[in-house]
Structure 1
């Protein structure tokens, strides 16, 4: 009898222990609901530099956004979003509106006004936007971002990248009917030239793709056309591709060798026909027509 009671007691204890764990687990579990200001991350390669912005996106929901006694008051520091501090990260050194900023991650704070916003990058990404907690001595750069009126209302605060060039882009902040943007500049030429120097000029194992890339960069950036021609010819020596032969035609046009340009374009067209690429066929025909006109 004692043995039976002991086993029953142990079984009951195990059951109660399991129930306790389940209750504790249920108590710790939280209900997941959509956030009113959801987190967003946008990344853009600008030149050869990766730029990442992480922020939370509040919505207007019928409220006046910018102005006096509004959601975002003029002349007061704003965390440029909601919830945690908005951050921006650069993989390399950049410039913001011409001012140098080292590679790294920073908090973005803004002081909106009607005509422009003051944009502040600060070393701290967690200090908050309130006046008492903000540390001005941690500022990295301060720049002005001109405002403009949006054509369509932006219900939800949005940060994106616009006006991309091979070395620059604008960070564009939009909400309600207001937009404000500032320019990021990156170093491209020095980096590309260092690669060309290492792989093509000093290197001993340059591939046709390396020669072609160097030639295209020289062509697009108005560098020595004779050198560009020498490199594209090396790229085309053993296995000419219609796009590379077309590059040779464009380089020769730039050098005013119209006869040579037409010959290269004719070869590129033939290769493009074999490759069934109508776009390059048309581009070569246009180049040959232009070369013919300039030969006269």
Structure 2
């Protein structure tokens, strides 16, 4: 049904990938991960096209439309983040030559792919809304869970530089928080199916409220500790970017350690806000459920 959008998605992502591949320059760690993200979108979209051509969705072990729209949401976020990080970390360091033009072209194709993936999500939503078919990602908690897990994955990319936190218990706790909250979000997404709702000893909204409250509190501690131990001199942090020698007079591409610390702090704050919104949603659901029970004669 949506194969007309999959072709431009593939064309744009493949174009972005091969434009950078053709540049013949050495990539940094972040750039390599951006290339991997584009490659992931190529493989994922191509796999969905092949499965749909062979009518596999009819025999899919769970709802195909939930899988396809969830993938489209993640692919849109991946392309959006690549379109942001690639210019920031690499294009500005390139000389004004053919390589720079290729990099700009790759960024443009990545932006177009993001727009097309968003179009697919919107079309799927509208289609299944008209057919009155339930779709998890079409709900507010579904979208918030997608954002929570995606932001966590971006944080993990920056934390691949283990020098940011190793041998510092407070910062290692922050890494543990990111991992725990990511696992809890994935568990919540997997359990948000009809067959699981009746197996829990408590109501489903209360279950989600408890998980989200725990994740919110953990993220709050992680944000506070990360800011203190990375940017406060009293705790061995570096409040100024100029205090990091790797960030001064840099001629190579990529992000220096101080930039990576700042990126993790910003992403942690963003995810905390998402968790707060998620917490507010489930608190309201529990409150409404309690009110409904109180008026039953």
TM bucket, shorter chain: under 0.3
Q: Which has the higher contact order (CA 8 A, sep 6+)?
A: 2
Of Structure 1 and Structure 2, which has the larger fraction of its residues in strand? Answer: 1
TM-score normalised to structure 2 length? 0.23
TM-score normalised to structure 1 length? 0.23
- Structure with higher Rg: it is 1
Of Structure 1 and Structure 2, which has the larger fraction of its residues in helix? Answer: 2
